[in-house]
Structure 1
Amino acid sequence: MGTATLTGRRALVTGGSRGIGAATVRRLAADGAAVAFTYSASAAEAEKLVAEVAEHGGRAVAIRADAADPAQVTAAVEQAVAELGGLDVLVNNAAVAHMAPIDEFPAEQFDRLMAVNIGGMYWAVRTAVKHLGEGARIINIGSINADQIPTAGFSVYGMTKGAVASFTRGLARDLGPLGITVNNVQPGPIDTDANPDNGGDFPESLKKIMALGRYGHVSDVAAIVSFLASPESGFVTGANWNVDGGFTV
C-alpha cells in the first residue's frame, strides 16, 4: 500500500524490469510518483510491469536501453524527461555481476562490469543533472561488497561497487549547493532470480554470518529507496545505507 509521499514526483529507475529495480518501480509508483524505467532485453517483463503499475492506478513508462552504451543511457534519460515532463528522482540500479579469480577473470566481463556498473551510472547522472532542480534526489544502488567480501572471486565486482560509494560522496559535495541529495543504498544478500535464497550451499554460508540469519526481500531495498526519494530525507546526503540483515556487524 502506498503512502502518497511522492505525489507529483517524476522518477527514473535504470534496470527496472526485474528484481530490486522492479520492486523499486512498484514502490515509487505506489507512493505517488510517475516512474520511467530502463530495461535491456526483457521487453515482456517490462510491459508486464507497466501494466501492473497501471492496474494499481499508477503510471510507469518502459524505455529500452543498454546501460553499457553511453549514447543509449543518455537518450533514455532524455526520453524519460520528455515522457514525464521533467525529472525529480534518479535511481541508478542497472548493474551486472561476474565472479571469478583475478587471474582467470575474462577481459570481456571486466569491460562490461566497468561499462555498466560505473559507466552507466556516470552517464545517467551527467545527463540527468541539467534536468534536476532543488529538492531532487539521486539514489545509487551499490552493494555491501564495497565494504565486505564474503569469499574469493568478488574482487572486480567489489571494486565497481566501491566506485559507486566513492562517486556518491563526491556527487554529494558537487550537488549539495544545488539542493540535490545523493545517497548510496548497499544491499546485502537479497532474494532475487540472480541470487536466490534457496540456491544451495552459498546462500546458506552467507546466512550464517548475518545477524538476522536470512536473506532480505526486494521490498526491503525499495522501501529505503522510497524514503530517500521523499521530502523527509532532505538532510541526508553522501551516505551509504546498508540494507544487509546485519551482514557487516
Structure 2
Amino acid sequence: MSMWALPTCQAPHADPDTAGHTKITKIFITHLHGDHIFGLPGLLCTLSLQRSPDASVVPIDIYGPLGLRSFLWRSLELSHSQPLLPYAVHELVPTQDQCPAGEFRDFSGLDRGEALAQAPPGTVLHLDAETDSYLLLEDEELSVRAFRLFHRVPSFGFVLEEKPRPGKLKVHILQELGVPPGPLYGELKRGRAVELSSGVRVQPQDVLSLPVPGRKVCVLGDCSGPVGPGARRLCGQADLLVHEATLEDWGDGR
C-alpha cells in the first residue's frame, strides 16, 4: 500500500497525523510560498529516518512548480542533510499569466549546468496546449493531471481520476453458458473473450454488468481563480473538490 501527500504544508513532519506515514510515495506541491514548501526538506529527512537504506526502494516522486528542485536541493545541501531514501522532483513550467504582471520569475536557468548534475533526478513538464493541463502520471487504474491557477506566484491544482472499472460478472448467465468457475472468470472480468471446450465463444459484454465509473478528486491550491479552460474541464463532475476558503477579515466573528 502506498500513500500520497497532497499538498504539503509548512511543517508536515511535525504533524502527528503525518509522522509515521512511511508509505508515502508521491508528494504534490501547489506553489512555492513558504507555508507550502518549508516543511518539505524536513519531511524527506523524517521519512528517511523511518525507512531502511535499501537500494531497491521505489523513489518518492515530488511534483511542483519550476524552481522546486533547486529549493529542495539547496536546502538539503546547505544544511548538510543527506536523506537516505531516493527521490525525484518533477517540475511544472508555469505560464506568465498565472500571476500578476511583474511578479513572474523565470526559474528555467536556476541551478542548471554543472550544479544540476548534483541535484535530484526528475523531469520538466510543459503545458499541453490541447488539454490545457500537465499529465503527471497515468496507468491502468488512474491518471493525475495538473492545471493552472492564478495567485501571487504561479499555482497549480491537481485532479486524480480513476478509470472506469469492469462491471460485475453475471454468474447466472455464466452458469447457463456452462462457463466453469476459475481462470475463465478472471479473463472475462479483464475484458477478454474466452472459448469453452464445446467451442462456444463467450464475449465479456455478454456476462458483465455496466462498467463502474471511476471517482474524481480535484484539489485546488491557493488561488483567486483558474487560468484557462483546463481547470473547469478537468474538474467537471468531480466527486470531491478541495479548495481554499480564506476569510477576508478574521475580526468579524466568522
TM-score by length of structure 1 reads: 0.36
With a CA cutoff of 8 Å and minimum separation of 6, indicate the structure with the bigger relative contact order.
Answer: 1
State the structure with more CA Rg: 2
TM-score by length of structure 2 reads: 0.35
Higher relative helix content: 1
Higher relative strand content: 2
